Amino acid sequence: MSAISLDCHPHLNAASISHDEEASCLEPLSTLLWLECGSCSGESMAILGAEGPGREGYNLLDFLENNQVQLLWHPSLSLESPKQLQTLIARILNGQQDLTFLCVEGSIINGPNGTGMFDTLHGQPKRDIIRALCDRADFVLAMGTCASFGGIPAAPPNPTESTGLQFQNDNHGGLLDQDWRSRSGLPVLNLSGCPVDAATMIKTMSWILKGMPLELDVRNRPFTVGPCLSDTLHPKCGTSEKVGYSCYGCISAKFPLSKAMFRQVEHPEKEKPFDRTSEQTYINYRRAIQTGVFSCG
Amino acid sequence: MAKQIIQMEMNRVEGDLEIKLEVDDHTVTDAWCVGTMFRGFEQIMLGRDPNDALIICPRICGICSTSQLYAATSALEVAYQAPVAPNAIRIRNLCLMAESVMSDARHTFLMFAPDFCDEVYRSHELYEQMLELFEPPFKGSLARQTIQFSKQVLGIVIAFGGQWPHSTYMAPGGVTCTLNKLKLVECLSVIESYIGWYEKAVLGCLSERWLTLQNAADFFAWLDETDSHQNSAVGLFTRFGRSIGLHRTGKGSGNLLSSGCYYDSDKWQPPFTEAACLQPAGFFNGETNELETFSQAHISEHLRYSWFVDHVGGRHPFDSETKPDYRPDSEAYSFAKATRYKDQVVQLGPLADLVVAGDPLITSFYQAEGSNTWLRQFCRLHRPVSVLQQMHKTVNELIQHLGEPTFIKPTPVLDADGCGFINAARGSLGHWVKIRKGKIANYQVITPTTWNASPRDSEGRRGHWEESFIGLEIKDLANPIELCHVVRSHDACLVCTVHFLNRDSKRSFSI
């Protein structure tokens, strides 16, 4: 079995750990907290896995075990109640509990009238809790287009005053302003897609855990994010070729578009799917070995 | 002890749900159901091209995305009076069935069963086995196997839709995707693999054997027959669940509603006046104990206890509006509309679907013990067996009809009304669309959870969930595990509930 070098992980001393069957009994090396806001649970469902023709079996269970990540809490999966979650959140906020990945699904809801009371947890606007947790997490991942850019809840007339975590559609600034950085020095990582698939979510987190440099495009999407039904050999959106309807840009910051989106396709080869070439000027974040912090260049 | 209010936020339900109970000593005397998140889909749909519904509606829910897509497509087909290619109905049904099978497994083994691992049951003789099978997250063997097999069964949806959730492979008139032998080979292989696991781990016997059980007596005889039956997931679920009295809690409404499961590919065509389904539609009247025909004209929404601009009495969804009017100091406590059928409170879900369809095993239990927590969840263990057989049959039909069309181009109508009903895993789902001058003028969605989670209506009658908590005995008010079992047996899907529910924080305190 391969040995993983973990000397670039900010929370560990340099060590080599061999990855064998007893791995799941070892102390977790990192932690993950998943929260949902203005969400349909699409990413939660996707990360449990959906495999089939052209789609591998990436799933949350294998990821947690293969990478020794402890799931602190997930709304659909954990035994602990939201009441016990309150204690966990308090421990994270006062520094007693480390948080590696904060995964947020769904749009950030600010309505009615800026109060945030259309989406509450423990009696408070959930967005306030998310805001506080962002400052304690090493990495904040917006799972899906809604958390990244606002997505469907933010479509006109945006009845819930929704935004993404660090963007509102293609404008910088959401719950967090443009200059905000997490403890690792990265902005919110926008894993857009509707939903973003398990492979993308898991490959991105695995890449981060290995301390590899992270390239983000102008919308802060990691290079791992691709259009639907695309892969390394076929980088464009595959809906017209594989399913018969035209791309409607679900990874775009402007999804869903205001104009009529649905079109059946007879000639996939003539299609022009959502083109993000203009958005693909990548910022290359590298992690400094000593500090464990990512910075540009 | 005086009456007190306890409030509990729930997880392991889809979305956010709060339950407020009034408790006298340890008995629940009143209840209010509250969700805590609103997205406003109906407002987002206004003014859009009707086909946008095919893209936006699946995003109402991540777990029943296929059902939402199917209902939206069906509503447009009814509005346009568009003929549907029979092969498309078969493909749609196949994908819907795959989603239902996945949902029942994920719900039972990832959301419902973990409660059996609560500390409070530590001294129960079957506790160790509960942990071994169901310990969350992903420690119990059934939990881990559920991940493995439920993601595989979604391969059927992926073969046609490319991805799950959220794909737009259905459109008025049929499906956009192609049909070929390779896809069907894939589907058969997936179905057989899933049945193999289900028989071994969940049932402890072959499907053929399970389908011979015709009533409660047959089932209990089967349970006592062998160790493999006793220790299968369904066996242990039954032994543990009934030993803690789950068959005596959570009654709720005795009126059951189903709009029918799985359209008959040959019969479901314009004018769409009769829902021709493989499992028939109906309304089981709890007072007369008689089955009546289902008609969507009897559906109405009440707003007295809801934070919307009120109309007196109830209104049919075509005439209903969604204009939020938040009044925290009024008697209203919810943004959910109180949905009623023939002015009655009703229960939707697998129990309703199966009793209305006349499933012998479930009907026998229903007649003997009524609606209850254990039976509702038992339905989710029982029905996949026949759904999987039906999936096999549907693939065979597709093989027989391989060269036939999968799409008939519709003629869109600029001014039309349409209503689409589909049975999702949680019960009947309805979409109502009003098209004027080629744009959506009104769009209403009533999900099964909307019905079940409804607040009080104009006459002050509680909704089904609220009713199901009345009389519940809660031993430890700080850990109301009895409530958890009942709530989770309802398989709530709050992300689907498009109206927003709120609570009055002044009158209650958290536990």
Q: Residue B40 and residue B37: Cα distance in Å, rounded?
A: 10
Which residues of chain A make contact with B41, given a CB cutoff of 8 A? 152
Q: Who's near B487: CB < 8 A, 6+ residues apart?
A: B10, B13, B17, B19, B465
Is residue B320 predicted with pLDDT exceeding 90?
Answer: no
**Cβ-defined contact of A152 to B44 (cutoff 8 Å):** yes
The pLDDT-based confidence of B50 (bands split at 50, 70, 90) is very high
Residue A76: its pLDDT value, please? Answer: 87
The pLDDT-based confidence of A127 (bands split at 50, 70, 90) is very high
This model of the complex carries an ipTM of 0.89
Rg (C-alpha) for chain B, rounded Å, is: 22
Q: What is the pLDDT of residue B132?
A: 96
Q: What is the mean pLDDT of chain A?
A: 87
Q: For tokens 């019960």, what's the residue? A: B427
Average pLDDT rounded to a whole number, residues B484-501: 74
Q: Among the listed ranges A267-276, A285-294, B82-91, which one has the minimum average pLDDT value?
A: A285-294
What is the arrangement of strands in the sheet containing B338-341, beginning at the earlier edge strand?
B314-315, B299-302, B338-341
Mean pLDDT within B245-266: 95
B9–chain A Cβ distance below 8 A for any pair: yes
Mean pLDDT rounded to a whole number for chain B:
89
* Interior angle at CA A226, CA A223 and CA A232, nearest 5: 85
- Secondary structure of residue B212 in the 3-state scheme: coil
- Is B342 a residue whose pLDDT tops 50? yes
Taking 60 as the threshold, does the pLDDT of residue A35 lie above it?
yes
pLDDT at A19: 37
Partner residue opposite A40 with nearest CB, options B164, B186, B495: B495
Percent with pLDDT over 70 in chain A: 91
CB contact under 8 A, A64 and B138: yes
- Long-range contacts, B373-376 (Cβ 8 Å, 24+): B373/B241, B373/B246, B373/B247, B373/B249, B373/B250, B373/B485, B373/B486, B373/B489, B374/B238, B374/B241, B374/B242, B374/B246, B374/B247, B374/B489, B375/B247, B375/B351, B376/B250, B376/B349, B376/B350, B376/B351, B376/B489, B376/B490, B376/B491
In the predicted structure, residue B494 carries a pLDDT above the cut 60 = yes
Interface contact A75-B12, CB threshold 8 A: yes
Task: Say if residues B149 and B156 touch (Cβ distance below 8 Å).
Answer: no
Q: Does B154 touch chain A (CB under 8 A)?
A: yes
Residue that wins the pLDDT comparison between B110 and A23? B110
Residue B497's pLDDT is 61
> Percent of chain B scored above 90 by pLDDT?
73
- Structure-model confidence comparison of residues B187 and B335, the more confident one: B187
Structure tokens at A80: 């602990």
Closest by Cα among B145, B299, B511 to A86: B511
pLDDT for A20 equals: 39
Place of tokens 């023939």: B342
Query: Which residues are bridge partners to B465 per DSSP?
Result: none
pLDDT at residue B327, as a whole number = 56
Element at B22 (helix H, strand E): strand B17-24
SS3 of chain A: CCEEECCCCCCCCCCEEECCHHHHHCCCCEEEEEEECECCCHHHHHHCCCCECCECCCCHHHHHHHCCEEEEECCCCCCCCHHHHHHHHHHHHCCCCCEEEEEEECEEECCCCCCCCCEEECCEEHHHHHHHHHCCEEEEEEECHHHHHCCHHHCCCCCCCEECCCEECCEECCCCCCCCCCCCCCCCEEECCCCCCHHHHHHHHHHHHCCCCEEECCCCCECCCCCCCCCCCCCCCCHHHHCCECCCCCCCCCCCCCCCCCCECCCHHHCCCCCCHHHCCCEEEEECCCCCCEEEC
Alpha carbon of B471: minimum distance to chain A alpha carbons (Å)? 23
Summarised one tens digit per residue, pLDDT across range B59-111 is 998 999 999 999 999 999 999 999 999 999 999 999 999 999 999 999 999 99
Please state whether beta strands B439-446 and B416-424 pair in parallel, antiparallel, or not at all (unpaired): unpaired
- Rounded to a whole number, what is the distance in Å from the CA of A289 to chain B's nearest CA? 33
Using the predicted structure, report yes or no on whether residue B328 has a pLDDT greater than 80.
no
Structural contact between residues B58 and B171, judged by C-beta atoms closer than 8 angstroms:
no
The answer to whether the Cβ–Cβ distance between A61 and B177 falls below 8 Å is: no
pLDDT at residue B19 tops 60: yes
What are the helix (H) ranges across B81-215?
Answer: 86-106, 127-134, 141-153, 155-161, 181-197, 207-210
CB contact under 8 A, A83 and B511: yes
Written as six digits, the tokens of B495 are: 């992300």
Q: What is the pLDDT of residue A61?
A: 93
Q: Is the peptide bond before A195 cis (omega within 30 degrees of 0)?
A: yes
pLDDT, greater one: B504 or B72: B72
Is the CB of B177 inside 8 Å of chain A's CB atoms?
Answer: yes
- What stretch of H or E contains B451? helix B448-452
Q: Which of B363, B371, B359, B336 is nearest to B448 (CA)?
A: B336
Peptide bond into B448 cis (omega under 30): no
Out of A119, A228, A260, whose CB is closest to B52? A260
Confidence tier at B329 by pLDDT (50, 70, 90): low
B58/B392 Cα distance (integer angstroms): 25
Tell me whether residues B9 and A48 touch, CB distance under 8 A. Answer: no
Smallest Cβ–Cβ distance between B155 and the set A51, A85, A195 belongs to A51
Res. B359: pLDDT tops 70: yes
pTM: 0.91
**Model pLDDT, residue B309:** 53
What average pLDDT does the segment B428-457 reach? 90
pLDDT band at B170 (very low <50, low <70, confident <90, very high): very high
3-state secondary structure of B413: coil
Pairing of strands A30-36, A69-73: parallel
The answer to whether B176 contacts A155, with C-beta atoms less than 8 Å apart, is: no
B37 confidence band (pLDDT: 50, 70, 90): low
The least confident of A28-32, A79-83, B215-219, B423-427 is: A79-83
Among the partner-chain residues A42, A153, A262, the one whose CB lies closest to the CB of B165 is A42
Output the pLDDT for position A272. Answer: 86
Per-residue tokens: B68: 């939402």
Provide the greatest CA pair distance for chain B: 72
What pLDDT score does A140 carry?
98
Are the CB atoms for B380 and B351 separated by under 8 Å?
no
Burial of B165 (0-12, 13-18, 19+ CB in 10 A): buried
Treating both helix axes as pointing N-terminal to C-terminal, what angle do B350-357 and B360-369 enclose, rounded to 10 degrees?
110
Q: Are A87 and A123 in contact (CB under 8 A)?
A: no
Helix axes B141-153, B181-197, angle to 10 degrees: 160
Residue B458 to residue A34: CA distance in whole angstroms = 39
Whether the pLDDT of residue B18 is over 90: the answer is no
Residues, chain B: 511
B155 in A contact zone (CB under 8 Å): yes
Residues 298 through 357 of chain B touching chain A, CB cutoff 8 Å:
324, 326
- Tell me what pLDDT residue B339 has: 85
Radius of gyration of chain A (CA): 19
What is the distance between the alpha carbons of residues B173 and B406, in angstroms, rounded to a whole number? 8
Predicted local distance difference test score (pLDDT) of residue B316: 67
* Contact yes or no for B355/B347 (Cβ under 8 A): no
One-letter amino acid for residue A164 of the chain: G
Lowest mean pLDDT among B49-63, B307-321, B449-463, B487-501: B307-321
Q: pLDDT tens, A204-247?
A: 999 999 988 889 999 999 999 999 898 888 889 999 999 999 99
Put simply, whether B292 touches A (Cβ < 8 Å) is: no
Q: Higher confidence at residue B186 or residue B318?
A: B186
Q: Helical H runs in B244-372?
A: 350-357, 360-369
pLDDT for B510 equals 22
In the structure encoding, which two tokens stand for residue A35, read together? 């929260």
Q: Which of B291, A55, A54, B143 is nearest to A46 (CA)?
A: A55
Q: In chain A, whose CA is at the least distance from the CA of B8?
A: A83
In contact, B452 and B464? CB cutoff 8 Å: yes
Query: Locate tokens 């192609």: which residue?
Result: B178
Distance CA B42, CA B442 (A): 8
Structural tokens at position A201: 């979510």
pLDDT tens profile A42-88: 999 999 989 988 788 899 999 999 999 999 999 988 888 888 899 99
| A-B contacts (CB, under 8 Å) | 229
